[in-house]
A and B are shown apart, each in its own frame.
Chain A
Amino acid sequence: MKRGLLLLAAILLFSPLLAQEVLEESTFSKAAGTNSQLFRGKVVSRYTFRYNGTYFWSPAGFEKGDVMYNGKLYRDVSLNIDAFVQELAVRIDQASASIYLDRSQVAWFTKGSDRFLNLRYLGVESADEGFFQLIYDGPNPVFLRIDKVFLSNPGDKNGEIIGYVDPAYDPEVITYFSESRRYFILKDGELVRLKKQKDLVNLFKDRKREIRRFLSSREIGGRGYPLDRFYPEVMAFLDGNARPESWFGARTAFWREGGGEGFIPSVSGRVAQADSQRKDLAAGFFNPETAEVTYDDGTDQQVTYQNKVYEIGAPVQGRDAARGKVSGRVTDSQDGQPIPGTVIWDERTSTDVRSDKNGRYSISLPAGENILHFSEYTKEDLHLRIIVHGDGGLDVVMPEKITTLRSAIVSAESMASHRTTKIGLEKVSMKTISKIPSAFGEGDVLKAVLTLPGVKSVGEASSGFNVRGGASDQNLILFNDNTIYNPSHMFGIFSSFNPDIVDNMELYKSSIPAEYGGRISSVLNIRSKEGSLEKIKGSLGIGVLTSRIHLEGPIAKGKTSFIMGARTTYSDWLLKQMPKTSGYADGTASFSDVNLGVTHRFTDNDILQASGYWATDRFAFSNDTTFRYRNLNASLRYTHKTEDGGAVTVSTGYDHFYNCLEDRDRLTGYDLETYIRQAFLKTGWTHVFGDHTVGAGLSAVGYGLSGGELTPYSYVDESKDAEGNVSREEGVSSVQAASLGTEYALEPAAYLSDTWTLGDFSIDAGVRLSGFLTPSPRRFYGGPEFRLSGKYTPVENFTLKAGVNTMKQYIHLISNTSSISPMDTWKLSDSRIRPTDGWQGAAGVYWTVFDSSVDLSLEGYWKRMYRYLDYKSGARLSMNPDLADDLVETTGKAYGVEFMAKKTVGRLNGWVSYSYSRTFLRETGDRGAAAINGGAWYNAPYDKPHDLKVALNYALTHRYSVSVNVDYSTGRPVTVPVGQYYYQGGLRLAYSARNSYRIPDYFRVDAAVNIDPGHYLKAIAHTSITIGVYNVTGRRNPYSVYFTSNHGSQVRGYMLSVFATQIPYINLNILF
């Protein structure tokens, strides 16, 4: 055990030091010409995080120079030295990306007027790897060695620390490249470090006196005298040269252009060795399709940098078309994967589009010069200047945003809300989620959702969530197109989604796209990552209660990839370690889940994705009763992208949710099983027609639902008496086997949508025709659902939006508990249970202020729900063939306003939101006084009017950040007794108005320190650690209050608090 811990500690401590290379595919022009052999090697490291200073040797940038490389001299090469990694970067021209030369083949080079040598190459074994600047050339040459060190520390570092005075120094940025200067002299074949002025003088003891006279007469040396002048001047004096500056540029015995003489022994002899050491090029490096940068029609342009003008389409007889359609694909610089959801925004027309799931985009632009902004919250923004002549292509490679975004916890980039017509759209990446503190520390999708305005739950550790007054069964939860019916593990403490597998999630609170349907409140769309096409990698996570692993990589490099993840908890095992007397040893509470995904790219335009998900939960706190439930999902998705920027998708899949209650009482024991099975087939098509982006699709979902299968408990007991005789007892409980049968239904749908941009206005309109057919008894429900939203952006940073949605829901959760319980069952609409309808109108104002760093939004909504199911008092919801008799239809109304201030940049980022909302229900029908609350409006169980949420992250350094989460809300409504009375020998409680009392307000503060991996490029594993405390104040937030008369003797009230104290946690993630 100790050895294991030591190993773990070692991994933690040294993982940043392990090697990792960051490779990036790039392109080079044929313009390299005869020099093309030079431009072979690995691409440069991209330091895309924000910093002060420069990682280059000097701030001078690229300069022309000559390179002796691989035994051959190359002239007029644009080059620069990366002094952070000691690599020589070369490029063809300003427009091209740069690569590192193989350092082992570089003998020397010049840069402007400076000269540099690779002393290791030249046989000086004691020299460090890398380059040395020759600052004095003579029999005893003197060298300057500059190394750049990446540091993070607040305070002004401009000037000496970064090596030069930078007029653009940004004091807000605390990370910087510090300059380290060392001087060496090569004397008698030994490389000697010179730290001080006297070190040089002491090397020539026999000439000390004349040196001092020389220094004195020339006023050279002394405190503050620059060493890069002192050493050459002294050496020039010693060599008898009165004008040391004349030595610079002169060819001396040491400097031998072309090699082969003097100090440079045998350059050519090293060629063969260098060839064998040459590193492989990135796949497709010289593939003409990607390597060429041709500007005539733009179809093959690939953008990896921004400092140039891209011309789209060919000018026709000198005249451009009125408009041009720019289409292409956005991919990740790290692994070449497509980046869906990238906002492509044209500055000139304020038009915006988003890349689809395959990274494809298409945007129609007016002819002439435009600036296209590519924004995705995990990537560096790209701002590209383009000139549109006509239709053309532009593929974009987006670099990872490292420092600022890793510390950011904000879901979308600044200004995002101005670019879409959608109201109430929240998008959160897994990186964001991982920064939000949660109980037990594991990044949790559903807990992150709860930090967003307009999203509530009935309490901690409760399954499900409520969006804008909707019930928890009114949220469509999709995971890779599959429907997840129970999204929680362990009574709601964890969500069902492995955080290492999830890529991002979108929550549609109001404007729900026409392609989605079946629930009336929201759509939570969660996508898992695609496996890397380039290399095997993964992660290992260790938490307080769970551990998880994920692995991904290519099956066929560049074509087929896989990703898999698994997660389990040791709570079951831990409970079993408890002493018998604790009462917990017989309890079990365990879960596991497994994800698997495979993606195959037939071509860049034809992609097949398969994904599978399996999750199971089991818990029991007595020997007799066990709860189990299980999600099993599989889907297959084929996408074909058309050249015009559209796409056709076909997906199919199977979802299975199963739960079981096992009672092992011999007299009354049973197994009660319920399940939902559904198979779906969906097709979708999008096409761009000028200013219109049109979408259409068909879908069908087939349901098979079992409301309950009851099987009596059969038991067999064998026992031995003292004499060894075996007695066998078997029997069956007195429960009668029963079955509610299987309900079948088909839910077909068709939709048509259009996004139309008219200058400052954009309109998103859609209609969805959905139906629901039950074969026995034959019944059909259906009708149109409308989706309409629009925006008006009079100025760049100010937008007004409004929209309205109508929705239909044909499947219902049957529950009389406040939270989703593992034993709740689902019910399809039938001849007696009608579908639930709903509509929502919403409007919002969005204003971006403070130099685009803060997004302010104010959204209001009004929502109605019809035929939402509630239950009669005393209803029997399990194994009830006449369930409809115990249910009542209610009408719901909800309204609210949500204010949010979101800071997206800077060391402090995050959001503060406040919402005021109300949700009421009212029983419809004619039950008179027997109706719930006598037929009057009553509070929904999740009606919590005031809701304040704060989620902030402060970056102390680029690695260390602090997260704080604050959650305040009005206490939720509960039903409490209105009186007590004696009845049949005991004291009883009478309840009257449902949900008329509120439990005390909820308030919680969480805090965490996040330690992100360092930017050690050579590390093979990166470790991130989160240490935090959930519920810092230890407030006993009530989950519920309840009352008991203790079986008739005395009435007492109690409060149940789920997390009644501080919960410290630590979570370790190792990426490899």
Chain B
Amino acid sequence: MNKYLAILAAAVSLWSCIYPFTPDFGEESDGETIVIDGTVLIGQRTEVAVRSMAPMSGTATPQDLSLKKGYTVSVRLEDSSGATYPGIYDPTASAHVINTVEAPTDRKYRLFVEINRQVYRDGSFSREIRHYETPWLEVMTAPVIDDITFNTDGPWLEVRTDAHSEGGGEAYFRFDYEETWEFHPPFEPEYYFDVATERIRPMPEDWVNEVYNCWMSAKPREQTLFSSRGLVAPKAEKCLVARFGRGNNRCQEMYSILLKSISLTREAYEYHETLYRNSNQEGSLFQTTPSEIRGNITCVEDSTALVLGFVSASTLTTRRAFMDGRYYMAPNSDFELFHPDYEDTTPLQYYAMGYRPVKDWTIVTNGVPATALAWADRRCIDCVVAGGSKNKPAYWPNDHE
């Protein structure tokens, strides 16, 4: 009886459904809304990207305006003493880089962006110049990162941090990070296919290192925000920064995280908090109505124009931590070996299809063991093909090459 009641309950609960939905958006962005993305990092390099917003439908994508034809973008920073810090466009960073390494923390700063673009009006081309500026920004002191811990108790591996503000009152932090981890493919190859001779040969040991040990890095697409509003002290305790599953190759070998933290004003915190909430709706019955929140950048020529982005000024604190992920790695069965059928397909054809010889492998069929050379997808034996890099970071603690 309970079984049927349970099914009924499931039915009741499951009447509510969520479906993919693509609306006809109607009025959309014309691609002229400006996005100014940057944080003034005193004591570090400051990077400021100037982009456009793309409409929801169609194929247009957000663009880096510094690279857009007909556009000239210049960025500069000014401090309260009148000193100017010019921005230089760095194509590798897709941003204008301002040297604020030596900038004093006891001054206020404001960011200026100038966009000079060619427009076509009334049958002819002309130049249009728009200026964007922030208010004077006080330099916030970044929180002290007290600790980084790895929570390995649950189904996920979690990176958490303790941090505190040395000032009093409410504190608002933003945690960003860079992850680096060492990994290797599922199988260590014992053979390789010699294309020139179309022969399978034993893999030399120094060749193994070329494909078996790699490093990979990533940056998050979303930062972690923290507010001490309502808490006893301006202190983040066990604040969740990142997490990943146990099948992830982050925990195959060594994992490292470089945590970067800045302080925000309350307005900056609310801007980013709203931004993330708007961008990650969950569609519940009691969903809050999304709303646009204005940043602190205004267009000098048109104060009503929407300018996306909120520029903060802060010092930066960083801290690195390592975790030996091998203890937490869950078995991953996504990669498979197979015994090839050479009657239909030659080794060269297998090679051309992206498979590589791995090792001798025994399988038991109807109680009869059979040992033969097994092949696998090349991603299973080559970490570079899987997206890794052979550039071992200088700070890496082990001696793998």
Contacts and interface: CB of A to CB of B under 8 A. Distances in A.
B341 interface: no
A492 B286 CA distance: 11
Given A491-B285, A989-B279, A1060-B16, A571 B9 contact: yes
A818 B270 CA distance: 21
Contacts of A461: 285
B125 interface: no
Contacts of B306: 990, 992
A584 B13 contact: yes
For chain B, give the interface size range. Answer: 35 or more
Contact of A1057 (B19, B23, B232): B19
Interface stretch (A52-60, A645-653, A1048-1056): A1048-1056
Nearest to B286: A821
B33 A874 contact: no
Contact of A987 (B10, B52, B221, B278): B221
Contact of A979 (B9, B15, B28, B290): B28
Contact of B220 (A575, A985, A1063): A985
B222 A975 contact: no
Contacts of A1055: 18-21
B357 to A, nearest CB: 36
A643 to B, nearest CB: 54
Interface string A545-582: 10000000000000000000000000100110111001
B221 A1048 contact: yes
B279 A874 contact: no
A453 to B, nearest CB: 26
A980 B294 contact: no
A254 interface: no
Nearest to B52: A981
A983 B6 contact: no
Contact of B9 (A577, A873, A1049): A577
A488 to B, nearest CB: 11
B167 interface: no
A991 B290 CA distance: 7
Interface in B1-43: 1-3, 5-6, 8-10, 12-13, 15-23, 25-29, 33, 35, 37
Contact of A874 (B27, B235, B291): B291
A985 B223 contact: yes
A371 B62 CA distance: 79
B281 interface: yes
A838 to B, nearest CB: 22
A816 B275 contact: no
Contact of A736 (B49, B230, B287, B304): B230
A571 B306 CA distance: 48
A736 B222 contact: no
Interface string B272-290: 1111001111111111111
Contact of B232 (A578, A735, A823): A735
A850 interface: no
Interface in A737-795: 738
Interface in A842-889: 873-874, 876, 879
Nearest to B294: A930
Among A544, A579, A1047, A1059, chain B packs the most CB atoms within 10 A around the CB of: A1047
Contacts of A1053: 20-23
A1041 interface: yes
B219 interface: yes
Contacts of A976: 23, 25, 56
A571 B308 contact: no
A383 B381 CA distance: 97
Interface string A1035-1052: 010111111111111011
A1052 B57 CA distance: 11
Interface string A584-602: 1001000000000000000
B25 A986 contact: no
A292 B362 CA distance: 109
A978 B29 contact: yes
A1056 B18 contact: yes
A1044 B221 contact: no
A400 B180 CA distance: 81
B90 interface: no
Nearest to A732: B232
B291 A996 contact: no
B273 A874 contact: yes
A980 B53 contact: yes
A895 B19 CA distance: 34
B222 A817 contact: no
Nearest to B94: A982
Contact of A816 (B13, B20, B26, B289): B289
Contacts of B238: 667
A1061 interface: yes
Among A988, A992, A993, A1061, chain B packs the most CB atoms within 10 A around the CB of: A988
A994 interface: yes
A1044 B289 contact: no
Contacts of A987: 62, 221, 279
A375 to B, nearest CB: 41
B378 interface: no
Among B28, B37, B56, B274, chain A packs the most CB atoms within 10 A around the CB of: B56
Interface string A983-1020: 11111111111111100000000000000000000000
B271 interface: yes
B283 A1040 contact: yes
A104 B35 CA distance: 97
B356 to A, nearest CB: 31
B146 interface: no
Given A934-B304, A1048-B222, A990 B33 contact: yes
Nearest to B37: A983
A879 B223 CA distance: 25
A941 to B, nearest CB: 7
Nearest to B38: A984
Interface in B28-82: 28-29, 33, 35, 37, 49, 51-56, 62
Contacts of A822: 286
Contacts of B54: 979-981
Contacts of A934: 304
Contacts of A736: 230-232
A178 B308 CA distance: 82
A953 interface: no
Contacts of A990: 29, 33, 53, 292, 306, 308
B86 to A, nearest CB: 23
B337 to A, nearest CB: 31
Contacts of A1057: 16-19
B9 A574 contact: yes
A887 to B, nearest CB: 13
A118 interface: no
B368 to A, nearest CB: 38
Interface string B294-320: 100000000110101100000000000
Contacts of B119: none
A1 interface: yes
A817 B288 contact: yes
Given A874-B291, A986-B279, A990-B53, 16 more contacts: A491-B286, A571-B12, A577-B9, A584-B13, A735-B231, A873-B291, A932-B291, A977-B56, A979-B33, A981-B308, A982-B37, A988-B279, A994-B291, A1042-B282, A1055-B18, A1055-B21
Interface of A: 1, 461-462, 491-492, 544-545, 571, 574-575, 577-579, 582, 584, 587, 667-668, 710, 712, 734-736, 738, 816-819, 821-823, 873-874, 876, 879, 928-930, 932, 934, 941, 974-997, 1036, 1038-1049, 1051-1061, 1063
9 contacts: A462-B285, A545-B12, A738-B230, A876-B270, A980-B56, A982-B51, A992-B306, A1042-B287, A1046-B280
Interface of B: 1-3, 5-6, 8-10, 12-13, 15-23, 25-29, 33, 35, 37, 49, 51-56, 62, 219-223, 230-233, 235, 237-238, 270-275, 278-294, 303-304, 306, 308-309
Q: Which 3 A-B pairs have the closest CB atoms?
A: A1048-B221, A986-B221, A979-B29
